Amino acid sequence: MKLYFYAGACSLVPHIVARELNLDVTALAAPRPDDAGRAEYLDKVNPLGAVPALQLDDNRVLTQNLAIVEYLAAQGQAGIVYPQLGTFEHAQALRWLSFANSDLHPAFKPLFAPQRFTTDEASFDSVKDLAKDRVLDLYAYLNTEYQGKDWIAGNQYSAADVYIYVTYRWATRMGLDVSPFANLRAMADRIQARPAVVKALAEQNQPAI
């Protein structure tokens, strides 16, 4: 299988999951809009040009983080990136994975591209300030949820922690003040100590935070 990524983007989530499961997945940097090979990527992998994209050995393609994570989890040993299927803890992991995908990740979009939310360049800073407030509110909520436990879903490591960690990387590298969220910082340190995470970061040429 081939997993296409942009370095440090949300495609780091399935990349880490694949390494945690020790699956035979080749991680490849997807071509950016001005890169050679972009047309072929649009034609054969993802017409929308987005990442992540997982190309199976028979050339079928899966897109969207949740679908890819679910598929990869089913290919590997049970209980590694999700608690046991059918348990409340498994449902909790899905809940928090969905939260990261549907609430937390979209909150960053005005920070990445304020021009998608207003055509008034003079308003870009205001759009970004509102987005920062939203992100920090969500982290305050998550920081409370991590209180007294190592992981978000039943105190068992899961793909949900991975997704939250990836967004936390964005926040720190964008200079958001995440210093009040000691539980998130501790979670990030625990994740970064995992060999699979070290390997995925190295393959994307990304530093720890």
Same domain, 116 and 174: yes
Question: Which of residues 80, 114, 147 is at a domain's end?
Answer: 80
Same domain, 73 and 138: no
User: What is residue 62's predicted lDDT score, i.e. its pLDDT?
Assistant: 97
Question: Which of residues 60, 80, 100 is at a domain's end?
Answer: 80
Same domain, 58 and 31: yes
Per-residue model confidence as pLDDT tens digits over 79-91: 899 988 889 999 9
Per-residue model confidence as pLDDT tens digits over 8-27: 999 999 999 999 999 999 99
Same domain, 109 and 25: no
Task: Name the one residue in this structure whose structure tokens are 């922690």.
Answer: 161
Residue 97 lies in a domain: yes
* Per-residue CA distances from 163 to 20, 27, 41 (Å): 14, 18, 25
Q: What is the CATH number of the domain that holds 54?
A: 3.40.30.10
Residue numbers of the domain that contains 18 = 2-80
Residue 206 lies in a domain: no
Residue 204 lies in a domain: no
Amino acid code (one letter) for 13: V
Q: Name, in order, each residue with C-beta under 8 angstroms of 69's C-beta and a sequence gap of 6 or more.
A: 13, 14, 17, 81, 97, 159
Number of domains in the chain: 2
Same domain, 96 and 74: no
Per-residue model confidence as pLDDT tens digits over 33-74: 989 999 999 999 999 999 999 999 999 999 999 999 999 999
Residue 208 lies in a domain: no
Residue 199 lies in a domain: no
* Whole-model pTM over 0.85: yes
Q: What is the CATH number of the domain that holds 152?
A: 1.20.1050.10
DSSP letters, 155-183, are: TB--HHHHHHHHHHHHHHHTT---TT-HH
